[in-house]
Amino acid sequence: MTTHDLVIAGGGPAGAAAALGALQARPGMSVALLDRADFPRDKTCGDGIAPEVFDLLSEAGVEDVAEGWAPVDRLSMRRGERVVERTMARSTWVIPRAVFDHRLHQAAVRAGAQPHTHRVTRVAVGADEVQVDERFSAPLVVGADGAHSVVRRAIGLPPGPTAFALRGYAPTTAHRGGTQAMVFGETRQPSYAWSFDRGDGLANVGYGEVQAPGAPRLSRSELMAQIEQLLPGSTTDGTQWKGAHLPLSAWGAQVADGRVALVGDAAGMVNPMTGEGIYYAVLTGLLAGRAAAAALDAGDPQLFGRDYTRGVRTILGPHLRHSALAARLCRSGRLLDAGVRAAQSDQRVFDDLVDLGLANGRITPVVLRRLTRHLLGTATQRTELSG
Ligand SMILES: Cc1cc2nc3c(=O)[nH]c(=O)nc-3n(C[C@H](O)[C@H](O)[C@H](O)COP(=O)(O)OP(=O)(O)OC[C@H]3O[C@@H](n4cnc5c(N)ncnc54)[C@H](O)[C@@H]3O)c2cc1C
């Protein structure tokens, strides 16, 4: 048994960020960073990384994670015949997770985290310490072990709503270069196919949809068929097709219990509208790391869960409420159509929707006004047609 100040289960973006947050706030603290995989490792993902992720990492002293990869400036959204393509207010990046996560993990190790290849199977919370597999112990533990978190189960939290998505890599088709293309499904909602140009001749291509409780999930060939239907030609010569679950966020969900905090996917922190999760993973990781350092500084480990929860609610609370509402609204095809038309007619609406889907945005007054106008416009057209 080794004893640490903080044990982090999972060394993906959320776990690495937790280590960075803790070590920046309290240099020299003993942080064990456990992962069942050796890095570099793949992670099934769309690889789209919002600019706000780099803002957070820069605050944590990490500057080089996007080096060698080109920014992507354009985003297109389509539903049926309606399409909007615009330049985003800020560029995003498409970086394979084997590269991005490895760089982040290395940054955490450089900051002082001690990496261990270890699969966590058991977490026991005692009066004074938390034990992980009777091999690691610490007053505080962060669960950053992804969508099927063992730590989450150990503190008795049930899984929340999920989506399922399949992704692969295929040569970027000529007209989709330099673009993140999203095509919304026409049946199940929210759902979309994507083709995100990496800038190196390949695109990350995939399709994902929300899972209704108890409903069977689409087979791999059905998921592939959805991609081809929505983005014809995008799967040609594709490789590395893999599917995975996305645990979707819900406002007010519990993210900690005393000495144990959950971050990233383990906390169910994926945007329910877009499936974006790296921003929330890095943000919640940093918040948990900083809360751990503060609780140790105060000599009161019980402050950890309370202060971390407070931090998440303060910073993300309004966004989580708004994105949950937006995801519900996206179930309506008419509203999705109105959203695409509103984004087409006004750059501010486009920018605000990007912010809501990728980072900490809200449903702003201009989005509401434009949506209402387009919805009423459609209703008026219908009335005129039927009259
Ligand atoms: C198909 C798909 C497409 C997506 N597209 C995007 C996108 O384009 N942009 C975006 O921002 N987000 C996207 N997401 C979501 C994003 O991948 C996740 O939100 C993000 O990876 C969360 O980071 P994390 O560190 O919480 O979890 P992970 O990245 O899953 O890291 C968890 C780590 O824990 C380790 N681990 C798991 N179990 C154990 C255990 N028992 N013991 C020890 N270690 C363990 C794993 O090996 C892994 O390294 C997508 C997800 C999917 C499935």
Pocket-testing residue among 39, 41, 45, ligand 1, by greatest number of atoms within 8 A of Cβ:
45
Does ligand 1 come within 6 angstroms of the Cβ of 115? no
- The answer to whether residues 165 and 206 touch, using CB atoms and an 8 Å cutoff, is yes
Task: Please name the fold of domain 2-67+96-160+249-317.
Answer: FAD/NAD(P)-binding domain (3.50.50)
Q: What are phi and psi of 257, to 5 degrees?
A: -145, 100
From the alpha carbon of 277, which atom of ligand 1 is closest?
19
Does ligand 1 come within 6 angstroms of the Cβ of 9? yes
Q: Cα–Cα distances in Å, from 123 out to 116, 151, 175, 205, 350? A: 16, 6, 50, 37, 44
Cis peptide before 216 (omega within 30 of 0): no
Does ligand 1 come within 6 angstroms of the Cβ of 13? yes
Pocket-testing residue among 35, 53, 94, ligand 1, by greatest number of atoms within 8 A of Cβ:
35
What is the residue whose two structure tokens read 């919805």? 375
Strand spans (E) along the chain: 2-3, 6-9, 31-35, 48-49, 71-79, 82-94, 114-117, 123-125, 130-132, 136-138, 140-143, 162-171, 179-184, 191-197, 202-210, 239-247, 256-257, 260-262
**pLDDT value for 381:** 60
**pLDDT value for 384:** 56
CA of 381 to the centre of ligand 1 (A): 44
Domain ranges of the chain: 2-67+96-160+249-317, 162-246, 325-386
Q: Cα–Cα distances in Å, from 349 out to 92, 138, 139? A: 18, 47, 46
Does ligand 1 come within 6 angstroms of the Cβ of 146? yes
Question: Checking DSSP bridges between strand 140-143 and strand 162-171, what pairing results, if any?
Answer: unpaired
Residue of the CA atom closest to atom 4 of ligand 1: 45
One-letter amino acid for residue 194 of the chain: W
Q: Cα–Cα distances in Å, from 47 out to 197, 204, 287, 344? A: 10, 7, 23, 25
pLDDT digit string (tens) for the chain, length 387 residues: 999 999 999 999 999 999 999 999 999 999 999 999 999 999 999 999 999 999 999 999 999 899 999 999 999 999 999 999 999 999 999 999 999 999 999 999 999 999 999 999 999 999 999 999 999 999 999 999 999 999 999 999 999 999 999 999 999 998 888 999 999 998 777 899 999 999 999 999 999 999 988 888 889 999 999 999 999 999 999 999 999 999 999 878 999 999 999 999 999 999 999 999 999 999 999 999 999 999 999 999 999 999 999 999 999 999 999 999 999 998 898 999 999 999 999 999 999 999 999 999 999 999 999 999 998 876 556 555 554
Give, in words, the CATH class of 162-246.
Answer: alpha beta
CA of 43 to the centre of ligand 1 (A): 6
